[in-house]
Chain A
Amino acid sequence: MAEIIESGGGKKHGKKGRKSHGSTHVDMTPMVDLACLLLTFFMLTTAFSKPKVMEIVLPDKKPPTGEQPAVQKNKVVNVIIEDDKAFWYNGDAELDPTTKLPKLNVADFSKDGIRKVLLLRNKDLFLKIDEFTQQVLKGKLKLPADSVDKRLKQFKKEDKSGPIVLIKAGDNVKYGNLVNIIDEMAICNIARYAIIPITPQEKEMLVAAKALLPPTPVAKPVTK
C-alpha cells in the first residue's frame, strides 16, 4: 500500500558510480484514511453507559408462619396505580357516608404529584437521610462507601415516623408506571413499602374515582 515516491528529483543524471538518493518519504495517506475510517467507526459504535438496574426483593410466596405484626392504620398510605396516574388514600381516611369507602385522591408521576405526597409524609426520615448524605458529600463525615450504605439502612430500620406504603396495581397498568412508583420510593427514601394485590373494595373506589376525572384523550404513558 505504501509507495515510495522517488521525487527526490533531479539526481537522475548524477555522475557515474554514485547511487541516486531516493527520498525516504513514504506516502502515508492511505494508512491515515484507514485509521480515520476505523476511528469514526469505533467512535460511533461505542456505547459508554451501561444500563443500570434497580434491585427489588419480593417476599417469599409461602405465607409466613407465626403471628404477623399488625400495621398501625394511621401510618398506611395506599397507592393504587392505574392509567398512568397514582390514586392514593390514607389508611385512616374518613369513610364516605354513603359508600362506606374512603375517597381516592389523584396524583400523577410528576415532581409535584405523588412524590410530594410521599415526601410530606416521610419528612423526618427524608431530612435525616438528606442531612447525612450532604455531610458525606461535603466531606465533613469521612466514611467508606459500604458503611454509608449500612448507616442509611440503619436509618430506615430505626425509623418510626415514616409511612408504610402499600402499592397496588389496577387492571390497566403499564410496566413503566410500576418502575416509576418504586423509583418514587427510592427518591423519597421510604423505609417500608410493599407491592400487594388490589382488593375488590379498592376496585370499586377506583371506578368511582375515575368517573370523577375529566376525560383525557391522552392514552400514551408520559415519561417523567
Chain B
Amino acid sequence: MSKLKMPVRSPSVDMTPMVDLFFLLLTFFMLTTSFRPQEAVQVDTPSSISEKKTPEKNLITLLISKDNKVYFNIDNGADSNSHMRSTLLKAIGDYYKISFTPQELKKFSTLSSFGLPIAKMKEWINASDQKVRDSLCASGIPTDSTANGSELQMWIHFARLTNPDAEAAIKGDFTSDYKVVKKVMDILQDKKINKFDLTTNMEKVEVKVKDIK
C-alpha cells in the first residue's frame, strides 16, 4: 500500500495583522508616555480621597523623605522659554555670592530635585552621573535658621520671586515626622503661602449611610 501523501503546507503565517496591532499600540504608548525625571529620593506618599490632579507646571515641590530630610524641586515654568530654573539658580547664586557659568545654569535646568547646601551646588551640577548626585544629596536642604533665614527659606523666597504663579506642594513620606512637615509649612507661611497642596495617592473610601443610622 502506498503511503498517503499529505500536501506540504508552508509553515509561514501571515503576521501582518499582528504587526499592525503592535505598531498601533507602540504609537499609542509612545505618544501617551511622559517621562518623569528621577527624584532625588524615594517618597512613599500617604493616601487620601482627594481627586485634585497635581498641577503639571508652575509647581514648587518640597519633598520630605523618610529620614526627615527636605528636598526641593521646581519646574521650568509653563513656557519652555521661561527658563525658571536657570533664573532661580542665578538669583540665589547672586545672593550667596556664588557665580554659576552659563553652562552650569543650562545644565541645572535639565536636572530634577536636589537636597544639599548651596555651597555644594556646583559640585552637584557638574557631577558625572546620577549616583554621585544622589550621594551629594544625602544631607537635604538646611532648614536651620541662620541670621538671614534658612537656605530652604531662601530657595522658596527666590522661587516665588522668579515664578510668582508657582504653587507649593509638599510631598512627604508617610513615615516622616510631623515636626519636620510643620517646620516646612511654617516656612511656607512665612513666605505668605497659606494655600498649598499635599501630594497623596488616590484611594477610594465608601461610607454607607446605614452605618450611621
B169 within 8 A of A: yes
A175–B36 CB distance below 8 A: no
Q: Of B29, B50, B173, B194, which one neighbours A54 at CB under 8 angstroms?
A: B50
B130 within 8 A of A: no
Closest A residue, CB atoms, query B185: A58
Question: With A50-B53, A52-B201 known to touch, is A58 a contact of B189 (CB < 8 Å)?
Answer: yes
Residue of B54, B64, B209 with most chain A CB atoms under a 10 A cut-off: B209
Q: Tell me, rounded to whole Å, the shortest Cβ–Cβ distance linking A166 to chain B.
A: 16
In whole angstroms, how far apart are the Cα atoms of A115 and B178 in the complex? 21
Inter-chain contacts of A127 with B (CB < 8 A): 209, 212
Contact with B along A168-194 (1 / 0, CB 8 A): 010101111111101100111000000
Q: Tell me, rounded to whole Å, the shortest Cβ–Cβ distance linking B191 to chain A.
A: 11
Inter-chain contacts of A176 with B (CB < 8 A): 46, 173-175
Within 8 A of A (CB), among B75-89: none
A16 within 8 A of B: no
A174–B177 CB distance below 8 A: yes
Within 8 A of B (CB), among A165-224: 169, 171, 173-180, 182-183, 186-188, 220-221, 223-224
B196 within 8 A of A: yes
- The interface stretch among A41-49, A67-75, A135-143, A153-161 is A41-49
Inter-chain contacts of B15 with A (CB < 8 A): 28, 32
In whole angstroms, how far apart are the Cα atoms of A144 and B35 in the complex? 34
A39 within 8 A of B: yes
In whole angstroms, how far apart are the Cα atoms of A183 and B198 in the complex? 11
Inter-chain contacts of B181 with A (CB < 8 A): 175, 178
Within 8 A of A (CB), among B156-204: 169, 171-182, 185, 189-190, 194-203
Closest A residue, CB atoms, query B64: A175
B19–A51 CB distance below 8 A: no
Count of CB-CB pairs between chains A and B under 8 Å:
160
Question: With A127-B209, A175-B175, A182-B48 known to touch, is A32 a contact of B198 (CB < 8 Å)?
Answer: no
Closest A residue, CB atoms, query B18: A32
Closest B residue, CB atoms, query A134: B209
B211–A39 CB distance below 8 A: no
A35–B26 CB distance below 8 A: yes
A186–B50 CB distance below 8 A: yes
A175–B173 CB distance below 8 A: yes
B194–A58 CB distance below 8 A: yes
A13 within 8 A of B: no
In whole angstroms, how far apart are the Cα atoms of A59 and B195 in the complex? 9
B198–A43 CB distance below 8 A: no
Report how many residues on chain B are interfacial, defined by Cβ distance under 8 Å.
56
A52–B19 CB distance below 8 A: no
B30–A52 CB distance below 8 A: no
Closest A residue, CB atoms, query B15: A32
In whole angstroms, how far apart are the Cα atoms of A39 and B21 in the complex? 11
Question: With A53-B198, A174-B174 known to touch, is A61 a contact of B25 (CB < 8 Å)?
Answer: no
Inter-chain contacts of A173 with B (CB < 8 A): 177-179
Inter-chain contacts of B30 with A (CB < 8 A): 38, 42
A60 within 8 A of B: yes
A54–B48 CB distance below 8 A: yes
Inter-chain contacts of B171 with A (CB < 8 A): 51
Inter-chain contacts of A187 with B (CB < 8 A): 49, 205, 207
Question: With A52-B200, A58-B194, A187-B207 known to touch, is A126 a contact of B178 (CB < 8 Å)?
Answer: no
Q: Of B32, B49, B54, B196, which one neighbours A183 at CB under 8 angstroms?
A: B49
B174–A221 CB distance below 8 A: yes
B22–A54 CB distance below 8 A: no
**Assuming A38-B26, A58-B194, what are 20 further A-B pairs, CB within 8 angstroms?**
A32-B19, A42-B26, A42-B33, A46-B29, A51-B200, A52-B202, A54-B200, A55-B52, A56-B198, A58-B189, A61-B190, A116-B212, A123-B212, A175-B175, A176-B173, A176-B175, A177-B178, A179-B200, A182-B48, A183-B47
Q: List 10 A-B contacts (CB under 8 A).
A: A56-B198, A57-B195, A58-B189, A58-B195, A126-B212, A175-B177, A176-B173, A179-B48, A182-B198, A186-B50
